[in-house]
């Protein structure tokens, strides 16, 4: 490194990269995996045979849409707020059921990306012309605090896809506390969580044969090249996922295959890597009934329903706020 004083950071990405690559061990938050290319690669990941999460959750929603619909409809008019809606493929299973039943509800997809929201709104207008859609652009925290004061109707908050797993358990508790404090009595929170299972199955989900997850992880390097004028050669790094069946944590790393020094010109730094040195890029925490019960309790939530696929690979829980 040749910096004397830290540069001014133009973006959150610049600041995070600076901090993460000048500390030891090196790390970059997984939220930066999702630029335009990363969104596209994640869409491909969801269709991979090894990445069972999306398919399992889809099956759960499809099979239990009737029961879930009854739970939501008991609120007699609700706002369906979805955190990280993406392309809405799974949610549409519920929306089509709600349409059939003529439920009184409004759909509020939340996403940081305006582009994602516009695309989703467009596809919903075509497929479900009668559904009222009110996209909410912003971070989850911003939108939740905005909605906390909103009391006109009951809220059903959706958080699907095991997105909670991309937080450490401590971060997850803090995040769920924010959700529970945005909830009023009777509001519901519905979350999909990947479960501990055969470690090989989990590891394969993050190490697919076609190399899409590798490309997704290495996209961080090309993103730094593009946005921060960095000089990474993705070939000089390997994608390395691992899974610890005791803690339930799956982690992904980029491992330097050689000793090298890489310039990140926009940050005015040169980052040195020893041979086999790592950049930690992602956490995908897996849970079981005990750890989910712990999460809920810590966050002030109680479990009021649970649905699983036949092998209990994936579970969707319904929570209420503890009074």
**Nearest-angstrom CA–CA distance, 279 and 264:** 15
Torsion of CA 141, 58, 94, 106, to 10 degrees: 20
Q: Is 91 in the site for ligand AVI (CB under 6 A)?
A: no
Q: Which is nearer to ligand AVI, 22 or 43 (CB)?
A: 43
Residue closer to ligand AVI (CB basis): 39 or 236: 39
Per CB under 6 A, does 88 bind ligand AVI?
no
Report the distance separating Cα 112 and Cα 131, nearest Å: 22
Asked whether position 232 contacts ligand AVI by CB under 6 A, the answer is: no
Q: Does 281 bind ligand AVI (CB under 6 A)?
A: no
Q: Which of 240, 320, 245, 318 is nearest to 287 (CA)?
A: 245
The residue range among 126-134, 155-163, 175-183, 196-204 that interacts with ligand AVI, by the rule CB under 6 A, is 155-163
Q: Return the residue of 29, 54, 162, 195 that touches ligand AVI, per CB under 6 A.
A: 162
Is 160 among the residues that bind ligand AVI (CB under 6 A)?
A: no
Q: Could you tell me how many residues make up the chain?
A: 323
Only one of the segments 91-99, 119-127, 157-165, 227-235 lies at the binding site for ligand AVI (rule: CB under 6 A); that segment is: 157-165
Question: Closest approach of Cβ 165 to ligand AVI, in Å?
Answer: 5
Binding to ligand AVI in span 189-228, by CB under 6 A: 206, 213, 216
Query: Of the two residues 180 and 207, which places its CB atom closer to ligand AVI in the complex?
Result: 207
User: Smallest distance, Å, CB 322 to ligand AVI?
Assistant: 26
Largest distance between two CA atoms of the chain? 64
DSSP letter for each residue of 290-318: HHHHHHHHHHTEEEEEEEE-TT-SEEEEE
**Residues 63-66: contacts with CB within 8 Å, 24+ apart?**
63/307, 64/307, 64/316, 65/93, 65/94, 65/97, 66/97
Per CB under 6 A, the segment of 12-20, 117-125, 156-164, 305-313 that binds ligand AVI is 156-164
| Cβ proximity to ligand AVI, 28 vs 266, nearer residue | 28
Residue of 14, 17, 45, 266 interacting with ligand AVI (CB under 6 A): 45
CB of 151 to ligand AVI, least distance (A): 31
Instruction: Tell me which of 180, 256, 278, 284 binds ligand AVI, using CB under 6 A.
Output: 284
DSSP 112-161: S-HHHHHHHHHHHHHH-TTSEE--EES-HHHHHHHHHT--SSEEEEEE-T
Residues of this chain that bind ligand AVI (CB under 6 A): 45, 53, 161-163, 165-166, 206, 213, 216, 282, 284
């Amino acid at each position: 490194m040749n910096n004397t004083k830290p540069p001014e950071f133009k973006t959150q990405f610049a600041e995070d990269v600076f901090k993460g690559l000048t500390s030891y061990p090196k790390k970059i938050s997984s939220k930066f995996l999702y630029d335009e290319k990363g969104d596209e690669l994640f869409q491909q990941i969801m269709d991979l045979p090894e990445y069972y999460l999306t398919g399992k959750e889809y099956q759960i929603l499809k099979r239990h849409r009737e029961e879930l619909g009854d739970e939501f409809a008991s609120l007699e008019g609700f706002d369906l707020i979805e955190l990280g809606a993406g392309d809405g493929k799974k949610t549409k299973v519920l929306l089509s059921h709600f349409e059939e039943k003529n439920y009184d509800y409004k759909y509020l997809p939340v996403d940081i990306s305006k582009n994602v929201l516009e695309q989703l709104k467009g596809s919903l207008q075509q497929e479900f012309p009668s559904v009222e859609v009110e996209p909410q652009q912003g971070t989850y925290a911003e939108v939740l605090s905005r909605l906390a004061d909103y009391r006109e109707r009951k809220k059903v908050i959706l958080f699907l896809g095991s997105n909670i797993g991309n937080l450490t358990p401590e971060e997850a508790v803090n995040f769920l506390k924010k959700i529970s404090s945005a909830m009023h009595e009777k509001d519901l929170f519905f979350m999909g969580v990947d479960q501990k299972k055969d470690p090989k199955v989990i590891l394969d989900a993050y190490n697919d044969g076609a190399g899409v997850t590798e490309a997704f992880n290495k996209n961080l390097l090309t993103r730094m090249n593009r946005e921060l004028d960095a000089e990474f050669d993705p070939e000089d790094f390997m994608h390395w996922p691992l899974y610890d069946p005791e803690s339930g944590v799956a982690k992904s790393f980029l491992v330097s295959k050689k000793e090298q020094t890489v310039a990140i010109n926009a940050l005015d730094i040169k980052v040195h890597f020893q041979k086999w040195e790592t950049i930690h890029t992602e956490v995908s925490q897996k849970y079981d009934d005990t750890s989910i019960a712990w999460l809920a309790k810590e966050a002030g939530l109680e479990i009021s329903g649970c649905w699983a696929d036949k092998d209990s690979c994936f579970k969707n829980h319904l929570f209420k706020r503890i009074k």
